[in-house]
Amino acid sequence: MIECVPNISEGVRQDLVQQIAAAAAATGCLVLDVHMDPDHHRSVVTFVGEPDVVEAGAIELIRSSIALLDLRDHQGVHPRIGIVDVVPFIALRDASMEDCIALARRVGEAVAERFALPVFLYGRAATRERRRGLAALRRGQITGLAERLRLPEWTPDFGPHRLHETAGAVAIGAREFLVAFNIVLDTSDVSAARDIARRVRGSNGGLPGVQALGLMLASRGLAQVSMNLVDVRTTGLQEAFDAVSQQAKALGIGILESEIVGLVPRSAIGESTSASIALPGDLNQSILEHRIAEANL
């Protein structure tokens, strides 16, 4: 079993996102979760299955996204390089990282050929060290990537040496578990959120394996600390929540709630409860293994 977690640059029009998720499901993979965010203008689809089924599901999701969406109409606070921004593969039952790397390369080659889409391999599937992380690919977003594409060292792994007119580009890769975890602050001061993000970010000496941004949620008039926990064995949900809470308290700011984007492995939960991380609803429904068990897989 392999997990695929595509991020789509559309978080407002539910009918279109559901059509895109249904295109993946029609290949036989099991869609476990669809998470939409209007401020990030982004949706995260989580599906699982055997490698050949997941391969077909990823290609169909990209095909449907290109057919239904246009990057030229997109405005959102989350950095992105394409209509389908990123397509990671994660090894689950009886699968290895090598399986996911091979799958990323097959899907990358296929979508480049079928849709004239520039494909950059990232994470463990990366062919160049500078492309392992998404930050280098997303720097400057579409405009920045368009400029880098003029340089020989930024030739895509597959596809044309130019952006697709309506779909941009896509990053396809293989990685370990990653948890997208957002905390909404009781303030509209986005500079405070950016300060907290800077303090908890691993690259600034904060929590190991934590990437963080401070963002403004225009629909709510509130600031948010948006995090990726890229090494859940070192820093899990509770440690990340407590660190943000501590930094916010020092600034006289409260925490309204947290949000898990997509699903998380049980290993990231630790002793956390919904109450301990200010998460509305049932934490169990955000646990990957729980959702797989519910589906009797």
Q: How far apart are CA 194 and CA 187, in angstroms?
A: 12
Question: Which residues are within 8 A (CB) of 74 and not within 5 positions of it... i.e. 6 or more apart?
Answer: 9, 10, 41, 80, 83
Selection from 282, 173, 188, 196 nearest residue 247 by Cα: 196
Selection from 99, 96, 106, 74 nearest residue 7 by Cα: 74
Q: Where are the strands (E) in the chain, listed by range?
A: 2-4, 7-8, 30-37, 42-49, 84-91, 119-123, 170-174, 179-185, 210-217, 222-229, 255-261
Q: Specify whether 74 is catalytic.
A: no
CB 30 within 8 A of CB 49: yes
Q: How many CA atoms are closer than 13 Å to the CA of 255, on its beta-carbon side?
A: 24
Residue type, 44: V
- Active-site pick, 41, 74, 78, 164: 78
Catalytic residues, which ones? 78
